[in-house]
Amino acid sequence: MQLSEITEYQDQLVQQLEESGLNVSFGDDLSVLLKTYEAATGTGYVQLPFLIDDPKDANPYNFWVCFDDGNAPVALSGFRTMQNGSAVRRVGEAYNQGALYRCKEKEGWLPETGPKLHPHALFGYIGAGWVHPRYRGHNLAGFIARITQAEALLRTRGTLAMSTAMTAEALYLSGMNLRASGLHHLHVELVLDGYLGIAEHDMRLYLSHSTGTELMSFYERELAMLRKDETIPWLHQHDKIYASAVLAGEESTSADASAPTSGLAALA
């Protein structure tokens, strides 16, 4: 998939949202994301992966996306991009060594888990996800995940090796983080089993992830449908099909009114 095609794909999604009355904007300052998130949600919950306390950590690959209705935000998402060092290591090891955020206490990361990162590979974390309760049921989660990860591919000029998200065990068991309607990641595995500083208690976290190549293959499939002005069942009708099945060319399931209406919780 060429960068021009990723741009076309993202533009088509943005156009659909704008035609529905929403505005789409991008920001580069992650501190603004945190303030907007707190104001929109009414909570003081801080997304540690987006707290960059060392100026040298800031880079043009970090950004956030906001949908608004002309008055206030109705959906949010952020993307943090990191670069691996000179040695091959797994994502679990990178997070255990403080790549995601500097933890003060030993946490329960499992260093031997997660996909391998080649030397100097760019890998990202998508999170800080939220959809206003009034707008749930329209799969804004699916739209913002696609627009955010497409933007990450564009900013890295297609060199993004991996997009990752962290999923609590309850959501992992629901399968939502792997469904094509939500994050459309293709892989998931346990990456933390024990103490997590942000929660101040023991818990289990799962890493969902796709390679940049897999994301582009997924977007290429959807772009072909958008060019034909076709309805995408797993985006427009909350089809429960999994992203891996979409890439395998399998038939989607029929739309189910009881299907989850928002997968943005998987971005937390």
Contact 240, 156 (CB under 8 A): no
Token couple for 233: 């069942």
Tell me the percentage of the chain whose pLDDT exceeds 70: 89
Token couple for 181: 């309607």
Bridge partners, residue 193, by sequence: 204
Whose CA is closest to 235, among 194, 185, 184, 192?
A: 184
Whether the pLDDT of residue 111 is over 90: the answer is yes
Whether the pLDDT of residue 257 is over 50: the answer is no
Mean residue pLDDT across the chain: 87
Q: At 121, is the secondary structure helix, strand, or coil?
A: coil
Whether the pLDDT of residue 125 is over 60: the answer is yes
Q: At 146, is the secondary structure helix, strand, or coil?
A: helix
What is the CATH number that goes with domain 3-267?
A: 3.40.630.30
Token couple for 56: 């040298």
Range with the largest mean pLDDT of 9-13, 133-137, 253-257: 9-13
Q: What is the rounded CA–CA span in Å between residue 172 and residue 182? A: 13
Q: What is the rounded CA–CA span in Å between residue 252 and residue 255? A: 9
The one-letter amino acid at 127: G
pLDDT, position 114: 93
| pLDDT, tens digit, 9 for 90 and up, residues 31-67 | 888 888 888 887 766 566 777 666 566 788 999 999 9
pLDDT-based confidence at 254, cuts 50/70/90?
Answer: very low
108 contact partners, CB below 8 Å, separation of at least 6: 192, 193, 194, 195, 196, 202
pLDDT-based confidence at 221, cuts 50/70/90?
Answer: very high
Can you tell me the mean pLDDT for 142-153?
96
Contact 127, 165 (CB under 8 A): yes
Whether the pLDDT of residue 112 is over 60: the answer is yes
pLDDT, position 45: 61
pLDDT, position 173: 85
Place of tokens 């789409």: 24
The whole-angstrom distance between residue 2's C-alpha and the CA centroid of its chain comes to 21
pLDDT-based confidence at 171, cuts 50/70/90?
Answer: confident
pLDDT, position 198: 73
What pTM, to 2 d.p., does this model score? Answer: 0.90
Domain boundaries along the sequence of the chain: 3-267
Whose CA is closest to 63, among 80, 41, 85, 47?
A: 80
The one-letter amino acid at 94: A
How large is the angle between the packed helices 140-155 and 212-227, nearest 10 degrees? 120
Can you tell me the mean pLDDT for 241-257?
71
